[in-house]
Structures are given as structure tokens and as C-alpha cells.
Amino acid sequence: ALTVPLETLQVLKGHMMQDMRKGLSRQMHAQATMQMLPTFICSMPDGTEKGDFLVAELCQNYVRTLCVTLLGDGNQRPQVMYKIFDMPMNIMQGKGEALFSFIAKCLRQFLAGFSSPQRRFPLGFVFPFSCKQTQLDKAELTSWSKGFKCTGVEGKDVVQLLQSAINKEELYVDVVALMNDTVGTMMTSSVEDKACEVAIIIDAGTNSCFMAEAQQVEMVEESSGRMCVNTEWGCFGDDTTLSGIMTTYDQRVDKESSNPGKKRFEKLVGSLYLGEIVRHVLVALAAEKAVFTGSNAGILRNKDVLKTHQVLEIINHEDGMARTRSTLETLGLRPSERDCCRVQQVCRVVVSRAAALCAAGLAAILTHMCQSRELEQLYVNIGVDGELYRDYTSVTGLLAPECTITLLPSVDGTGRGAAIVTAVALRLADQRREVDQLLSPLRLSRSDLQRVQALMRQEMDLGLGKETNARSSVRMLPTYVRATPDGTERGEFLALDLGGTNFRVLVVRVAEDSIRMASEIYVIPTSIIQGTGVELFNHIVECIMDFQLKQDLMEQILPLGFTFSFPCQQLGLDKAVLLSWTKGFNASGCVGQDVVQLLRDAALRKQHFTLKVVAVVNDTVGTMMSCGYDDPKCEIGLIVGTGTNACYMEEMRNVGTVEGNEGRMCINMEWGAFGDNGCLDHIFTNFDQMVDEKTINPGKQRFEKLISGMYLGEIVRYILLAMVEKRVLFRGKPCPKLQTKDIFQTKFLSTIEIDGLALKKVLAILRDLDLHASFEDSVLVREVCQTVSLRAAQLCAAGMAAVVEKMRENRGLDQLIVTVGVDGTLYKMHPHFSQNLQQTLQVLAPKCSVTFLQSEDGSGKGAALVAAVACRKAGP
């Protein structure tokens, strides 16, 4: 009955995995027997930990105090000093206050041996009982076990209890971290470049911990990285799961323990109980007269006469038989040779069962880790403490063949690990301070955003005024587009789309019931983008001719709508003077020229005599028109891509820069330049400054440089560089590759920020950039990305809030219902941008109900619609 077959172990492993999942889940937690306690330990030592750390370790019948000196050498050779204080029996069962005061007194005595009372020490407290931890230094004892039963401690924060006891002793000691012994063991076994991510302890009791994916630890609001979880697997089977393997001996042991019905798994495994199990088996065998027929075995009825260490000696020692005999004889028994053999056999069976059960538990943890990390094969180091571990590796191998494990026996108990946890905690606290300091200028409050909104509104008003226009950084350019589509547009058009990620040529056929399009993407080499205007427009015409040839459109004269996504002073629908290049374009001889004319000139040069440009529009306008065809409420266009900009329908009476007061006109805001007059200087950080300086248009498009795809990656890169310099990233190791401009692309932000993206994928992105990132590094990089993209979305929302509020006021409405047509790679690809934008907008403009309609067809379709209206007006 005491041997557990492999199939049963397999089933047990399955149950344990199920129970682990329950324990981790918020909903099912209450039903789990394993509590899967969060430990708030999210980082492994990185070897830079340095300094003197105190540890107090509460053990079975003694208190151990340690002073560990870490040298910052990868924790290779920590110096350890320790002292053991025997604990009087009555303390374990007495008042809680007495227990903590005893520990504080031990510390006092220990410190007196080597330190001056004035010196301040951080302390790690190893408290090997089940606790509900809410911070690294805040933990309520759930319940005592292993024979402890001090009053007034359960439900209390044990860190505080220890700290007050320490304060009473007038010691300068700060309790920085509390941890379970398993965690200490895990950390002890971790050295540089060889993280240990699992630990098991089989001592008086048994327990384990492992690094879980933080996202799965649902009891804690932490979705990035990993957190060590204390499984408290000793409680596994406190429902009925273990009934199948619990023998009558186990039931007796349980009944006679200080916590009957509790910690069932522990009672099959922990050294507090193995001796007892053996004793009960022997009692039964003696009753059946199978052993000790020659002597009175009554002594075996006494609890705890047989200790687990004796059991281990019996099975481990070379002279096991002699040991058996002497052990039994000390009990007053007179064993025969056969008795000794039997006893030895019983001991073996009980211990192997314990080992097999541990192996099943370990296999459950490993498979869980392997699955939740989405790995096919898991390589992992496991810290072990306790005397039984040698036996279970082979069984684990059978139960979790996908995991390759290395066992690292803990060298000097959990104490050194506790010091490391404390050191890591302090290092992280320092790091957190540095990180917050670096990132805080990028974190905008609601009032910051309201101020940006108000400034945008102010600049809009200035920009619309005839006299004030020149003073505004937001140009508010009239577009001569006076209405959104009404569905009566018809015809066949060519369209060009220049200024986003792709240059496209299209043919658009607008019929009564549908719009059909065909398009081709053409590459414009950087040498041309930054070459001469003649080359640029020649190239464009060549692309048009190629397209017409391919589409068999050479013979037709089709009206052409031109999406030209740069700021233009428009003098009519087909006359647009380029005010400045943006987004990295810099072709010479274009600024100040009518781009339609430049296109016509090029057509002549290329002998293309049938080109008929009828309208030029900004991409925001094209997008608004394109979306407006499907949704008549769409009266705003927004682009968040390479650049950013917006347009909207303004009342003619407010447009001082165009004659006439009737109706509306679409205004191309060119909000990318918002702040170029200094009005946003309070928002810009050093990082923004550095990004701006390295662009081809420093001082220009300042708002755009906070928001759009061309720049976000660069902002992140500069922040990462600063973090390396402050030694909070990549262990401060220099990263030459990170010095390269544009190496960190905005598309990385979009990938890195995907919810639930396994951090190993983040690591892979960083490794591709030659950045040797640790797991913690990747968590930090993700935080930087999130901060930068959140700010971008919020600033965009502040701008949009100014727009919708102005439209609401214009129309004298209590509530404005409006749709924004939106396009751009960042908006479309980033996992959170649109949501952050919409949420913030709702806060900033609560009286406007704004729907965002993503443009699927690009702005070429909109340009064609504008061309259609132009043709209709011009007459047949």
C-alpha cells in the first residue's frame, strides 16, 4: 500500500497542475488547496549586489542570525558570519510577543559581536510559514504549522511585529524583505548567468517555489515579468485528492499531529512525519506478529520515539543493518536479523514514496512552467534543501521528460539567499527611484493635458484669424473643400498618395453603388526624397506612366486627385504652395512652389500630355472624405502615422483667411507644428530635445515629434541610453549599437507592448539589436515603450479634444456627436494607442461623443472624391 505506481504519480501530477492553476486564478483561488502565494519577488540577482546584509531565520527549534557580505562579484564568494540561538520550547507555543522579542534579542547579541550599535543594517527575515504577502515587506501569517502555535500572530503582519520588537531593542535594523525559506533557497542557488528559478525544500515540512509568469499570478495586479510564487504545496490534497494514496498509517499520523486534516502532502513527505509513518507501520506489523515476536514492542506506541534522521541513517548508511539494530536496541527492543531487514525495508519504502511524491510535485511545477512560457523544452536550475532530494531526479525525468533539470543543493541553507533577496530589493528600490526620475517628465497629469488642450485651442483661434495667423504655430490652412461626400459623386479618376510610408498611384472608379480601386505602391529612394524637386517630380510622373501602362489607361484622360501630405498654402482646389517639407522629405526647389505646377512641369518634361490634375488634398482631408463616404457624420480627419495631423469642418464665418461667411470649409490644421513658437516648451523633455536636434528640421514639427511613428522609437532609444548610463539597464554595460540613429524603430513599440506577449519575444527583439538584455531589462524596456506611447496618445487626445470642443461650440450644441476618420501605421498597428487616445479624449471632452472610424482604403479614395466634386462643379 505504501508504493505508488508511476501511473498514479502521473495522475497526481495532473491534479497538482490543476490545483496550481486554481490557486493562481482569482476566481478559483478559494477552491484550491495549494495557495500559490505571491512573494513580490520579481527579480533575480544580477551579481552587482553589494554590501552587508543581516538575516534572521526562524527555524524549527532555533533562530539563526547571519551577516552576509556581498561583493558585487556575481555572488560568487559571499562572506557569511552566523550564530545559532537555541529556542526554549515554551516560546514556540507561547505568546507571539515573546517570540519576536526573542528574535530581536538574538540579533542584538549577534550584532554586539562585530558591529557598533550605530551602524544601520537592512535585514531579510526568513519566516517559513504560510503568509498572505501584499508587499515584499508586508505579510500576514495565515496559520502556524510544524508545531508552532504562538498566540496573537495569525492574521497579523509579521514584518511589523519583528520591526517593533527590533525597535524596542533600540537596534538600527530595517526589515526590508520577508520571505519563505524556499525563496531563500532559490536565491542562494542563483549565481550570475545561472538563474535558479525553482526551489524545493524537504525538511521538517515541505514546500516549493518557482518563477511564474506575473500575468498568471492573478491575485496581484502585475502583468509584466515574472514573480516568484510560494506554492505551499504542503497543503496539496487537503480536499480528497490524496485519499487514494493515504494509508491507515498516514491517517494515524495525521490524527496525532498538531493540525489534523491539514497539510496532507507535507505529512507524507516532511521529516517531521516520516519517522512517525514508519513507527505506525511497525506497530501494525508487530500487532500481526510479523516483527518483534521476541520482545515487547509497546515502546513503539509512544509518539515520536523514532526520528526521521534515524530512518535516513538506517537506509543511507553502509552499515545500515548495524544502525538498524542499534536504533531499535536503544528503544529497548531486541530485534532479530529478520526484524532488522524488515525495518530497513519499511524505512526504504516510506522514504522512496516521499521522494516519488516530491518528484510528481516537481514535475507538475516544471510542466506548468514549460507550458506557460510556451516552450517546447525547458532548461532549469533547481535549488534544493533537505535530505531526500537525491532520490527523485530519475522519477521527475519520467514524469516531465520535456524538462531538463539541474539540481543545485543549497550550500548554506536559506540564509545567504535571504541576504540576496534583501540586496536585490534594495537594488531594485534604487533602480525604481532612478527610473521614476527619468520617466516622470514624460508622465502627464490630467491638468497638464488640459493645459495642452487649452493651448491648442488658443493656437487654433490665432491660426484662423487673418491678422493673428502669422503668430500661430498651428497654421489652420484652408483646403477649399466645402462639403463631405453626399453620395452623388461619380466617375473614374487617377489618384496619387504621397507623403506617408508608401507612395501609391491609384485608379478609382466611383459608381452609384460602389467604389472600385486598383493601386500600385512605388518606392521613392531616399536619395530622391532628399535630392532635387525636379528628380522627385520626374520620378512621380514615371511611376504614373508605368501605372497607366499596366492598367491600360494610357489613352484616357482621367482627372487626377493628388494627396500630398505636407503643409501647403492652398490658393484653390488645384493650386497648393508648399510651405515646408516635413517627415524627412527635403527635395530642393519645391518650398514656395505650387506642387501641382511642379507635377505638370514634370509631365511636360516626360512628354506625358494627358495629365489633368484637378485637386490636391492633404492626407487628413483625403482620409476624412474617404471615411465620410461611408459615414456622413465623419467631419474630422486624423493621421497618426509617420507624421501626425488633423483636419475638420470649420464654419466659414470663423475662417478669417478666406473671403465669405456662408457654410463650412475643411481646415487642414497642420497640428504637427504645434509648439514651434515655444508654447509647448514646458512639455518637452531632454529626450525630446535630443530627438529634435538630430532631425533634418530641428525646432520644427515639435508636436509631431512627440507623437508620430517617425520619432517614438527615437525617444525610446534616448531614454534607454540614459538608463544604461545610470546603470539601471543592461547592467550598465555599454551598448554601442544603441548609439545608432533610428535603430529602435517605432514598430518595435507596437510589438513589445502587445498584451501577454511572452517576454522572451521582447528579449528576441532586443537581442536582434545586439542588446544583451536580461529578463528584467526587457520588463523595463517595455515600461519605457508604454510610457512613451501613452504620452503620445494622450497628447493626441488633448489636440483632438480642442477640435471637437470647438466644433461643439461653433454649432451651439450641448452634446456633439461626430466621427473621426483616422489613418496611419501607428494608430493601426499599436496595440493600445487607439484605446488610450479614446479614453483620454472622453475625459478631456466629456460633452462630445466621438467615434473613430479607421480608414481602410487610404486617402487616395478621398482625393478621388474631391476630384469628382471639382469635375461636377466645372461642368461637363
- CB within 8 Å of 436: residues ≥ 6 apart: none
Least separation in angstroms between CB 785 and ligand BG6: 18
Nearer residue to ligand BG6 within complex by CB, 224 or 750: 750
Q: Which of ligand BG6, ligand GLC, none binds 622 (CB below 5-8 Å, type-dependent)?
A: ligand BG6
Active-site annotation holds for 565: yes
Q: Which of ligand GLC, ligand BG6, none binds 825 (CB below 5-8 Å, type-dependent)?
A: ligand BG6
Residues 305-344 that bind ligand GLC (CB under 6 A): none
Contact residues for ligand BG6, defined by CB under 6 A: 497, 499-501, 563, 565, 619, 622, 639, 641-642, 709, 823-825, 858-860
Stretch in the footprint of ligand GLC (CB under 6 A) among 50-58, 268-276, 447-455, 634-642: 634-642
- 554 within 8 A of 548, measured Cβ to Cβ: yes
Is 641 an interacting residue with respect to ligand GLC (CB under 6 A)?
A: yes
Least separation in angstroms between CB 567 and ligand GLC: 5
Q: What is the 3-state secondary structure (H, E, C) of 202-229?
A: ECCCEEEEEEEEHHHCCCCCCCCCEEEE
Stretch in the footprint of ligand GLC (CB under 6 A) among 315-323, 445-453, 639-647, 837-845: 639-647
Binding residues for ligand GLC, total number by CB under 6 A: 19
Cα distance between residue 490 and residue 864, in whole Å:
10
Q: Tell me which of 582, 695, 787, 825 binds ligand GLC, using CB under 6 A.
A: 582
Is 672 an interacting residue with respect to ligand GLC (CB under 6 A)?
A: yes
Cα distance between residue 585 and residue 696, in whole Å:
9
Q: Which of ligand BG6, ligand GLC, none binds 327 (CB below 5-8 Å, type-dependent)?
A: none
C-alpha grid cell for residue 720?
534607454
Residues 695-714 that bind ligand GLC (CB under 6 A): 704
- 56 within 8 A of 103, measured Cβ to Cβ: yes
Q: Which of ligand GLC, ligand BG6, none binds 128 (CB below 5-8 Å, type-dependent)?
A: none
Q: Which of ligand GLC, ligand BG6, none binds 675 (CB below 5-8 Å, type-dependent)?
A: none
CA dihedral 623, 626, 630, 635 (to 10 degrees): 50
C-alpha grid cell for residue 741?
540613429
C-alpha grid cell for residue 308?
526521521
Q: Which of ligand BG6, ligand GLC, none binds 672 (CB below 5-8 Å, type-dependent)?
A: ligand GLC
Catalytic member of 101, 130, 565, 580: 565
Q: Which of ligand BG6, ligand GLC, none binds 859 (CB below 5-8 Å, type-dependent)?
A: ligand BG6
Q: Which of ligand BG6, ligand GLC, none binds 101 (CB below 5-8 Å, type-dependent)?
A: none
Nearer residue to ligand GLC within complex by CB, 535 or 670: 670
Stretch in the footprint of ligand GLC (CB under 6 A) among 14-22, 194-202, 563-571, 809-817: 563-571
Nearer residue to ligand BG6 within complex by CB, 38 or 641: 641
Residues 447-506 that bind ligand GLC (CB under 6 A): 499-500
Backbone angles phi, psi at 18, to 5 degrees: -65, -45
C-alpha to C-alpha distances, 332 to 294, 300, 309, nearest whole angstrom: 12, 10, 18
Residue ranges with strand state E in 117-205: 121-126, 130-135, 138-143, 173-179, 198-202
- CB within 8 Å of 49: residues ≥ 6 apart: 70, 72, 75, 420, 423, 424, 427
Nearer residue to ligand BG6 within complex by CB, 594 or 823: 823
Backbone angles phi, psi at 347, to 5 degrees: -60, -45
Q: Is 194 helix (H, G, I), strand (E, B) or coil?
A: strand
Nearer residue to ligand BG6 within complex by CB, 627 or 735: 627
Nearer residue to ligand BG6 within complex by CB, 101 or 859: 859
- 388 within 8 A of 355, measured Cβ to Cβ: yes
Count other Cβ atoms within 10 Å, centred on residue 453.
Answer: 22
The closest of 83, 82, 80, 85 to 52, measured between CA atoms, is 80
Locate all alpha helices (DSSP H) within 726-824, ordered by sequence: 746-752, 759-768, 775-810
Can you name the residues that pair with 57 across neighbouring β-strands? 64, 126
For the chain, how many helices (H) and strands (E)? 27, 26
Can you name the residues that pair with 646 across neighbouring β-strands? 638
Is 746 an interacting residue with respect to ligand GLC (CB under 6 A)?
A: no
Least separation in angstroms between CB 650 and ligand GLC: 16
- 551 within 8 A of 667, measured Cβ to Cβ: no
Catalytic member of 619, 688, 692, 857: 619
| Residue sitting closest to ligand GLC (CB) | 643
Residues taking part in catalysis: 504, 565, 619
Binding site for ligand GLC (CB under 6 A): 499-500, 565-567, 582-583, 618-620, 639, 641-645, 670, 672, 704
